[in-house]
Amino acid sequence: MAYHVADASKLEWEERPPTVEGHPPRLSANVSKVADLTQSFGRVWRYPAGTRGKRHADKAQEEVFVVISGRLTMLLGEPPERVDVGPLSVVSVQPGTPLQVRNEGDEDLVLYIYGAPQQREGADMFDDPGEL
Domain boundaries, the chain: 26-125
Reply yes or no on whether the pLDDT at 1 is more than 70: no
What residues contact residue 94 under an 8 Å CB cut-off, 6+ apart?
62
CATH superfamily of 26-125: Jelly Rolls (2.60.120.10)
Q: How far apart are the first and last CA of the chain?
A: 47
For 89-127, write each residue's pLDDT tens digit: 999 999 999 999 999 999 999 999 999 987 767 888 888
